[in-house]
Amino acid sequence: MVEANQAYEEGNEEQLKAILHDWESSPESIKGEGVAAKLIRVIRKIAQCRDRLKTIEKEIDSLEQTELYQLRNQVFTAKEIGQDLLAEMAQHLDKQIAESQQQLAELKEKLGI
């Protein structure tokens, strides 16, 4: 209901149509208590679950394409062979920082700062 109110306030007709479609195809929209009504509700619940699983699979696929996920895989792969990739990366960064600080000190000395 909150979504419908927000879509209405925003004048988002497409969102309102989507909400109506979702309601019309939902298990809750089926009236009655007989076997047929129960069966339709169960079938719709199964369809909802399948749709949700497809959405989740797409989200997982999307996350697996990120640089952070790739780094995670590299860390775990390195760990399997006894390597601490994150520690190595930190050590490399520390070295770069120390070199940059040394260069800065040398420049300051040349400039008399």
- Note the pLDDT of residue 31: 85
- Note the pLDDT of residue 28: 79
- Note the pLDDT of residue 25: 80
Residues of the chain with pLDDT under 50: none
- Note the pLDDT of residue 7: 83
- Note the pLDDT of residue 20: 81
- Note the pLDDT of residue 2: 86
- Note the pLDDT of residue 16: 86
- Note the pLDDT of residue 113: 83
- The pTM of this model reads 0.56
CA distance 74 to 16: 44
- Note the pLDDT of residue 70: 95
- Note the pLDDT of residue 1: 76
